Chains A and B, each alone.
Chain A
Amino acid sequence: MKYEVVIGMEIHAQLLTKSKLFCGCSTEFGAEPNSQCCPICLGFPGSLPVMNRKAVDHIITTALALNCTVARESIFARKNYFYPDLPKAYQISQDDQPLGERGYLDIMDGSRRIKIRRIHLEEDAGKLVHIEGEPFSLVDYNRGGASLMEIVTEPDIRSAEEAAAYITELRSILRYIGVCDGNMEEGSLRCEPNISLRLHGAKEFGVKAELKNINSIRAVQRGVAYEIERQSQILDEGGTVIQETRRWDEASGTTISMRSKEEAHDYRYFSEADLVRVVVDDAWLNRMAAALPELPQARRERFIAAYGLPAYDAGVLTESKEIGDFFDKVAAISHDYKVVSNWIMGELMRLLNETGQSLEQSHMTPEVLAEIIALVDKGTINLKSAKEVFEESFHTGKTPSKIVADRGMAQISDEAALSGIIEGVIAANSKVAEDFRAGKEAALGFLVGQVMKETRGQANPAMVNKLLREKL
């Protein structure tokens, strides 16, 4: 392409705190409208905000995970704008001296580094509800005043794929460190990429458009790709791109200009006199650093080096912390790591997807999976039965040995018992047996199948093969 793509990303992440940023109102999702509000988050005169320590902890943790410098002294400011989702007509946020600055995040297997400009703490706004055809809008302030983190990158992202990779990796990290649930559909993680194009080698940035309403990683990729295409067409035709905010429209797969935002913002930041400065001393910083878990990238590298897993497996297994933890625990008992990986990527993830449960909600435990793998290893059950046992354990929590005993699933590895069945099958299929003796190797498969059918799949396949050849 003729143009270089320049993308910066702004994300807002709702922090996992039980109460709001400056008051004790609950942050639980889905409550009755305006049932989680008080004089502080509604901005009643005379009320005073008091900051939630957990929210500050979360920002420090994120800043450390994203290789930022943590400000030893941080201050808060009022960002003034008039909009009905903001009861005070200002948002308490940070301008100068944000909690985190100058970090980076490596993406695409470490081949690309995206610099982080700043991370700051602010309060969320309320939620506006628009009803088609009505002359009014409705406001629910339950979310107003909840703790929100803003993470801003430098304009280092160069394609739609990189934009998607950045948000994927960032979301994974935020979940690992437990600061945000990363749910883009419910809006607990919102991303706003700004996109501009310029001729390769140009010094000046082009005019940028900011995208909103992106509620999945796929939408990041599609929205940015559409915007790149739209802007290159304008430039190719000799036109100029307008600086504006555009809304991603999932249904049409296009971006649409949001005209209401055309007026230039004038936020008139000034310091928030109701809050004193936050000073992060060594003790606080060290405590947060010590509590930082192994991050996805480090874990991926360890899974490849220590367990000899393919890069693909390592990527899938480390995307969520709980799956990665689960793998580590099974691998401590069961040493055929690729087999463990196959079970988790296959059966476990299939059942989690189908049931919509989290690993914690299911009955699957590392011990259960290790036991199933051992039962297959010892030849007690075959792989087909093992999958059934896995599914039952997943749903009920019953131990594999009990399921095998209750359902009479133990594999028939008893030579005498199998011999009788095999002789019967040969006698009943004498023509097929003749074909095999005449050199038709494929005929054996049919006979194996018949034996399996007779034993309801419980015969040891290797033994059936061996005995069939002997008897033929």
Chain B
Amino acid sequence: MMTMKVSRKEVEHVAFLSRLALSEREAEEFTRQFNQIFKQFEKLNELDTSQVEPTSHVLQMQNVLRQDSVRSSLPIDEVLANAPDREDGYFSVPRIME
């Protein structure tokens, strides 16, 4: 069986994808924790699941669907209430270069 090992570089990459800034200490700490978690998964991997269908959802429900009908939306002021910055009814964000 493959031993999974998460490097500190990978932890930093995952943090970057989520736009999290980790301190030196946090990066060390999370790398250690990630490796511990993976060790637990290795334990689970000892089980032979080749004959078991993957579970897509813990609930056995299906087809929870709604009719295509319009309901009222929030007032614009409420939509923008938590926006750090706004401009003419828009959310304003640091410029995105395209």
Which positions in A face B, CB cutoff 8 Å? Answer: 17-19, 23-26, 32-39, 42, 50-56, 75, 80-84, 89, 97, 128-130, 134-141, 247, 258-260, 266, 268, 271, 273, 275-279
Contact = CB atoms under 8 A, between A and B. Distances in A.
Interface string B48-81: 0000000011110111111111111110100110
Interface of B: 13, 17-19, 56-59, 61-74, 76, 79-80, 85, 87-98
A237 B90 CA distance: 48
B76 A35 contact: yes
Chain A interface, >50% SS class: loop
Contacts of A128: 96, 98
Contact of B68 (A33, A52, A89): A52
B18 to A, nearest CB: 7
A130 B68 contact: no
Contacts of B59: 276
A140 B97 CA distance: 17
B73 A25 contact: yes
B42 to A, nearest CB: 19
Given A84-B91, A141-B91, A277 B74 contact: no
B56 to A, nearest CB: 4
A84 B93 contact: yes
Nearest to A129: B90
A268 B96 CA distance: 23
B79 A19 contact: no
A32 B93 contact: no
Nearest to A140: B90
Nearest to A268: B17
Contact of A82 (B19, B67, B70): B19
A21 to B, nearest CB: 10
Nearest to B80: A34
A64 B75 CA distance: 40
A17 B70 CA distance: 10
Given A18-B70, A25-B71, A33 B89 contact: yes
A279 B63 contact: yes
B66 A52 contact: yes
B8 to A, nearest CB: 17
